[in-house]
Structure 1
Amino acid sequence: MSTSQGISLLPCTPTDFPTLAALESVVFYHDEFSIVAFGPERASAENLAIRTQGFHKTLEPESQKSTEYFKAVNESGEIVGWSSWSFVHGGKNGEGDGVWSGKGEKLVKKDIEEDSGGWGVSANVRFCEEVFLVADEWMVESTKGEPYAKLNVLIVSPSLQRRGIGTLMLSEGLKEVDRRGLQCVLGASPEGAGLYEKIGFKEVGSMELKLWEYEGGEGMGMTRHGVMHRPAVVVK
């Protein structure tokens, strides 16, 4: 699919993964949430390699879940944005340490870490566990044990933000979610919550994060991380 701005939306291939990791690092490098979560080595070659490896892991066959990646490409063939969606077909019943949803389904810590591509060599483990594990638990609880889609990541190159590319990627992703008849969940920053509300998402949980209380967040302020849910839409 192409936009009026000469942007094409295409499925990603594994050869794109290093570029996806590098673009993600650029987009979030100065974000205080990311600084605290992933630490001073978040843009290092080692960390980008871990992130890339994590993308590859999500493509390994699973009975309960599949993950798909999409890219926004300009007329020169450069990737200027991308998104990742997971489609979860049923509850998890794995063994080992994890957290539980209200339906008694187990959300295994290892699975959450792999969904994010690994937390990285300088990650603040306490912060990641208190934010990402809790948020994923809320997401699972909101789905009430039924199949669902999850928007993992949606980013646009800083030079092209606020031009409708992110909205287009979100819209196209939700068309596929709706085609499959699935409900959808996501984690929302304060900047993105308003857009998600306009297209049918409602907040099911939120946390106020005092960044200065975490290692690496000294001198920073407070931010908010929300979890949102959108019911399945019947496509006629």
Structure 2
Amino acid sequence: MTLTNGHKATKPAIRLEPITKDDLVTVAEGNIAMFESFYEKLEPADRRPPHPVRVQRHARRFERVLESDMTVCTKAVLAEPHGEAPAGELVGIAVWHRPGAPCVNPKRRSVLGDEYHGDAHAWQHVDMDKYEQIWTEWDDMRQSLMAGKDHWYLCPIWVKNEYQGCGIGKLLMQEILDKCDKHSPPTAVYLEATPEGAPLYKKLGFVEVGKSEYVEMARWNKDGRVAP
């Protein structure tokens, strides 16, 4: 799927591709940058290693997410050069948990396990009490709201700041939303949104189903109707 625009000075041509192991460091850099305040709470400053080490550890943890048969990991890349950026540069990602997967975030340590890496170095600076607490709260909320309902789970999505407003996030979303809408009734989609991001999801048919710090939202139908 490709997004093109005649005004290439402002909107780049975008291509969607699967994330690969070669992308892991770039994805880790993006995750940390785009969710800086979130990860700062989980990775205390007094335990945080130098940035390159932090990125490498994050990339190692994400490798298991990428390899899971229950996830779909997609990147948005430049289809052609844009400004000083070369074609193929990664500008956004979307990670999805498939329908039928347990209501357990794929980034949790209990899912990834230390045995995957042969040691616990990838988690060495992480406050595991806070890490497990926040994922447990989110997982419990999703379980209570979506129990018994097959659904896709978006976890997470981001677009680099300099490429926001170009429709890239919508393009990353639409790939899965189109799959959902081929079913009757459509397959549900669930996500946690920031209050700032919630209005954008509403335009894609999502409705609020919870009101925690991150707004729980579900998409039952593309026109934004409530659950059937």
Q: Same fold (TM over 0.5)?
A: yes
Instruction: Name the amino acid aligned to 1:134.
Output: E
Instruction: Name the amino acid aligned to 2:179.
Output: E
Match of residue 31, structure 2, among 1, 24, 27 = 24
Distance (whole Å) between structure 1 residues aligned to residue 155 and residue 15 of structure 2? 21
- The alignment partner of 1:153 has SS state of strand
Match of 2:193 in 1: 188
Contact 1:201 1:228 in 2 (8 A): yes
Match of residue 76, structure 2, among 58, 65, 72 = 72
Q: RMSD of aligned C-alpha atoms?
A: 3.1
Contact 1:142 1:229 in 2 (8 A): no
CA shift, 1:191, in A, is 1.5
User: Identity of counterpart residues, as a percentage?
Assistant: 27
Match of 2:219 in 1: 230
Most deviating of 126-135 and 76-85: 126-135
1:79 to 1:124, Cα distance in 2 relative to 1, 3 A: same
Distance (whole Å) between structure 1 residues aligned to residue 91 and residue 107 of structure 2? 28
Contact 2:65 2:106 in 1 (8 A): no
Instruction: Name the amino acid aligned to 1:12.
Output: I
Match of residue 204, structure 1, among 202, 206, 209 = 209
Match of residue 133, structure 1, among 108, 133, 136 = 136
Segments of 5+ residues of structure 2 without an aligned counterpart are 6-11, 81-86, 115-121, 223-228
Normalised by the size of structure 2, how large is the TM-score?
0.72
Instruction: Name the amino acid aligned to 2:2.
Output: S
Distance (whole Å) between structure 2 residues aligned to residue 170 and residue 116 of structure 1? 25
CA shift, 1:149, in A, is 0.8
Match of 1:178 in 2: 181
Q: How does 1:53-68 map to 2 (within 5 A)?
A: 53-60=60-67, 66-68=70-72
1:196 to 1:109, Cα distance in 2 relative to 1, 3 A: closer
Distance (whole Å) between structure 2 residues aligned to residue 26 and residue 79 of structure 1? 14
Higher relative strand content: 1
Most deviating of 175-184 and 2-11: 175-184
1:60 to 1:228, Cα distance in 2 relative to 1, 3 A: same
Most deviating of 138-147 and 120-129: 120-129
Match of 1:144 in 2: 147
Contact 1:58 1:115 in 2 (8 A): no
CA shift, 1:48, in A, is 2.2
Distance (whole Å) between structure 2 residues aligned to residue 191 and residue 162 of structure 1? 14
Q: How does 1:79-118 map to 2 (within 5 A)?
A: 79-89=90-100, 92=102, 112-113=108-109
CA shift, 1:87, in A, is 0.4
Match of 1:220 in 2: none
- The alignment partner of 1:133 has SS state of helix
Segments of 5+ residues of structure 1 without an aligned counterpart are 93-106, 208-223
1:162 to 1:117, Cα distance in 2 relative to 1, 3 A: farther
Distance (whole Å) between structure 1 residues aligned to residue 49 and residue 220 of structure 2? 35
- The alignment partner of 1:33 has SS state of helix
